[in-house]
A and B are shown apart, each in its own frame.
Chain A
Amino acid sequence: MSSLGKKPGFGVAQVILFLSVAILVVVVAVPVLLIFFNAFWVNGSFNIRDVARIISEPDTWQALVNSLIIAAGTTIGSTIVGTFFAWLVTRTDLPCKRFMKGMFLVPFMLPSFIGAMAWKMLLSPRAGFINRFFMLHFGLSGPIFNIYSYAGIMLVEVMYLFPFVFIQVCGALERMDPTLEESARISGAGLFTITRKITIPLVLPSILSGALLIMLYSMAHFGTVAVLGIENGIFNIPTLIYQRIHQSAGSFASIRTGTVLAAILVAAAALILWLQGKILSRGHYQIIAGKSFRPMELKLRALRMPLFLFCAAYIGFTIVLPTVVIFLVGGLKTYGLPFTWENLSLDNYKFILSAYKVTRDAIWNSVTLGFSAAVITMFAGVMISYVIVKMKVRGKGILEFLGMLPFSVPGSVIALGVILAWSGRYGVNLYNTVWIILVAYIARYMAFSLRANSAALEQVHDSLVEAARVCGATMWQALRDVVLPLVRPGMLAAFFLIFLPSLRELTVSIMLYAPTTRTIGVAIYTLNEDGETVRSAALAGIALIIIVAGQLLVERFLGKKAQG
């Protein structure tokens, strides 16, 4: 027999492992390492004093503090809102619960910086429609609310981030064994006591894990702070990095400041993820089991209609109103005119779709970039996940560590790292081309792909592959005939999890764009900054249509999997 080799497939395993490590090193590890290197090494030697000096500069220190304040406020607000709504739609007799639940998930789709723009139109101190309305009709001398403030930024972030907690808590409450609550009831506890003493403590790990996700996201969040904060001099870490590098066109000092701030972000993100992992592994109670009955519903009685109206008003105010404003402003002939029929037209929409090169390029760039990044990341992700989940090879530990990296690296850090790595210092200069954005997108979305593909691969039990092997299939044949067909849904999910968000990406692209390589997000943001409010709004409206339509299509074809 000719196949009497030692450990057949040995070479194949090593090749796949090597490729996986190489991809993660080049795409994620090198940029992050460069950031740390640039932050701590000055003129070839380790220098912590300089780092301390940069942090203690008033502007940088303020940005750090701001990031913390905004993240803390947003996290607390979102947690309360998310938990409350999750409890309402899973444990009470609120009318139209299913519809409400769907609506509370809508903010997941909407880009928060577009929302921020809408709120700017509504609540900016002088020009905001709501502020003007009150000043005009109630004779107020000043605005009733100034959106250019910490409170304003936090409110807008809460509106778009609370679904992270909402979806986690909903999931936990729905899967929870109803007899856990029933046994409290038969013990003599009323429904409010049960909620307080049994239900909430049991889902606490889910609440905390959602809250930490929000904190991670908010700390590194660019869009909302950029739209609402810069006007009043409120910077957080990502906006300060952007502003410094943008203003100085990439000077050495600005890059240094950037890398120090980015290093802090990475450290904070790693800490948060570590905490989350701890909570999930230790505190996650086994509360899923048993026969399923309908869980008990709290009868809201007299509060039923008021709470229903409250939810409806919340949805109207935070989701419908900003969206409508975007579309209306996008239809205005000139910003500042009142919303009357004669002032509204579809001209802006036609213009930006057909005649205006900036926006046409942006749409084309975003679609091609998103598509390429999604395809590449999908394939790379399935390969890396396969090694991590299924293979038993030496050196896998390194890969597992590298595989965690993409989760803890915020967008602005990736952008900065990519600039350091790919702007000619190491032989390759991609700066000012679309390629640098592509590389950054791949790094940014690798985490999504790894998560979707790993989940799909976990479902493929080893015995399925082993069954093919005893049937006479070689390793390659088993991969082709059994593994690949079974992870196809995971790959598809990964594709859309990357393609759809990339259409509205701002944080990374804003740091990397050149005049001809604007993406949709960049175009909306820069047009808005340049005072082209109506065109910016029109493009935002079109982006919303594309994103929502895409999401609906995905949900239709992939079931509910897409919202991992």
Chain B
Amino acid sequence: MSHVRLVNVTKRFGAVTAVNDLNLEIQKGECFSMLGPSGCGKTTTLRMVAGFEDLSEGEIHVGGRLLSSRAKNWYLPPEKRDFGMVFQAFAVWPHLTVFENVAFPLRIRKLPAAEVEKRTKDALASTNLLPSAEESPANLSGGGKQRVALARALAINPDVMLLDEPLSSLDPHLREEMRFEIRDLQRKYGFSIIYVTHDQAEAMALSDRILVMKLGVVQQIDTPLNVYNHPVNRFVFSFIGLSNFLSVTRADGAFQLAAHSELLPQTLNPPEDMRRHETLSLASRPSEVDFCGEGGLRGVVARKSFLGEIVDYQIKMGEQELRVQKNRRAPGPDVGESCGLRLLRPFWYEGAE
């Protein structure tokens, strides 16, 4: 039985539909990420689960408890939902010490003093904050503040942890470190995570499953590897990782690059069900292109940049461009040279670029 269940959830703000008919089941102990560009409805969804927004339609259940239901006119306010939540801007209270910040949810629940002390210390220990317990969180760095927010969310030992872009305000180095800390805390405490982010690498690294959203509509829900290897549509392909799109047109039954006279090589033909379209786009990832001497797609190296571990090529093919990234030790052509390219994993989508 799934732990968090969203049924036909829809949210409208005036004439705008922010979330459209969302169905979702999240297992206990799962780390589930919602990924999409800003304004796609991921944050609104999280806020509906938290109880900061009511639903326009649908129901939300957590652990057998009905939290919100439009049809039954039922809405549990956020303070009764017993979730942990961490916000992008830390939202730690500067007028309370680190200890009191973390103890706050326990004191609100009127737990005995000894219990408050013990559980607060536990949460502080799990987040390496014990030495700073009596300080004001205003004196902590961004990473420190976010740990306080995590500890505060942990204190009540919630079943579900809601994380709203918790790492976006941190610098890249720290972001990576905190990502693993969150994962470790989850293993230790066993809560489910609903994680909202626009950073695809973060979602991939952290999650058991991810949901990709666009304009309030779910595009794909799957494991990170499956979303990367089998993107269901062009949007998902372009949103996950770097991408190349080449426009391909049909002329006399054969396919060629748009504005380029050469036909596509034999090895690179659209699948049967795509062949009826006049125009197609051919998608590939810069890291999944090999240089080959003969055959393949032909192009000329317009730019070659040494970026350290990788070398970045821009290949001109008539009017179109393709980006290729290779390890610096892999051999590659120089600027101005013509070269052949083999796409290791081509994807086809209908419509021109």
Contact = CB atoms under 8 A, between A and B. Distances in A.
> Do A and B interact with each other, yes or no?
yes
Interface residues of A, number: 26
Interface string B153-196: 10010000010000000000000000000000000000000000
Interface in A176-233: 177, 179-180, 182-190, 193, 197-198, 201-202, 204
Interface string B72-85: 00000111111111
A340 interface: no
Interface in A386-400: none
Contacts of B138: 285-286
Nearest to B44: A293
A370 B78 CA distance: 56
A186 B104 contact: no
A186 B81 contact: yes
Contacts of A202: 93-95
A185 B52 CA distance: 9
A289 B146 CA distance: 14
Interface residues of B, number: 33
Contacts of B52: 182, 185, 293, 296
Nearest to B102: A187
A184 B104 contact: yes
Contacts of B104: 184, 187, 189, 197
A198 B152 CA distance: 15
Contacts of A290: 87-89, 91
Contacts of B71: none
A256 to B, nearest CB: 48
B108 interface: yes
A289 B89 contact: yes
Given A188-B108, A189-B108, A190-B79, A183 B152 contact: yes
Contacts of A184: 93, 104
B108 A187 contact: yes
B93 A193 contact: no
Interface string B99-137: 000001100110000000000000000000000000000
A285 B52 CA distance: 25
A187 B94 contact: no
Contacts of A187: 79, 104-105, 108, 152, 156
Contact of B93 (A182, A190, A198, A289): A198
B77 to A, nearest CB: 8
A188 B89 contact: no
A291 B42 CA distance: 14
A286 B94 CA distance: 8
A285 B95 contact: yes
B87 A188 contact: no
Nearest to B149: A183
Most chain B beta-carbon neighbours within 10 Å: one of A182, A202, A287, A296: A182
- Residue in B88, B91, B138 whose Cβ sees the most chain A Cβ within 10 Å: B91
A433 to B, nearest CB: 54
A180 B95 contact: no
A340 B94 CA distance: 60
B203 interface: no
Contacts of B47: 293
Contacts of A285: 94-95, 138
Interface in A520-539: none
Interface in A160-187: 177, 179-180, 182-187
A291 B88 contact: yes
A183 B95 contact: no
A189 B79 contact: yes
B108 A180 contact: no
Contact of A188 (B43, B90, B156): B156
B39 to A, nearest CB: 11
B96 to A, nearest CB: 8
Nearest to A182: B52
A186 B84 contact: yes
Contact of B89 (A177, A186, A197, A296): A177
Given A182-B78, A286-B94, 6 more contacts: A183-B149, A186-B78, A188-B105, A290-B91, A291-B43, A293-B47
15 contacts: A182-B87, A183-B87, A183-B92, A183-B152, A185-B52, A185-B78, A186-B50, A186-B85, A186-B153, A188-B108, A189-B108, A190-B79, A198-B93, A290-B87, A291-B88
Interface of B: 43, 47, 50-52, 77-85, 87-95, 104-105, 108-109, 138, 149, 152-153, 156, 162
